Amino acid sequence: MVGSSSHHIRNICVFRGSSPWKEIEFLESANHLGQVLAERKIHLMYGGGSLGLMGVCINSYIFKR
């Protein structure tokens, strides 16, 4: 993209799912995503799950805020 843009992401909707959700790489990525969104004050809308990857993502988002 050429030049600067004044567009900023304010909201993001995330639906995370994976059958091997117990894999550490997936858990770390979900955790990191939640932290980054919270640090950047991006509102997270999510699938409502509290288990698995969605649970990890929303918990790190909530606790980082």
**Per-residue pLDDT, 38:** 94
Q: Give the separation between CA 52 and CA 26, rounded to whole angstroms.
A: 10
pTM of the model: 0.75
Q: Which of 57, 9, 10, 8 is nearest to 33 (CA)?
A: 57
What residues does each domain of the chain span? 15-64
pLDDT tens-digit profile of 11-65?
998 886 666 566 888 889 889 999 999 999 999 988 777 778 888 888 999 888 7
pLDDT given at position 53: 83
Give the number of residues written for the chain. 65
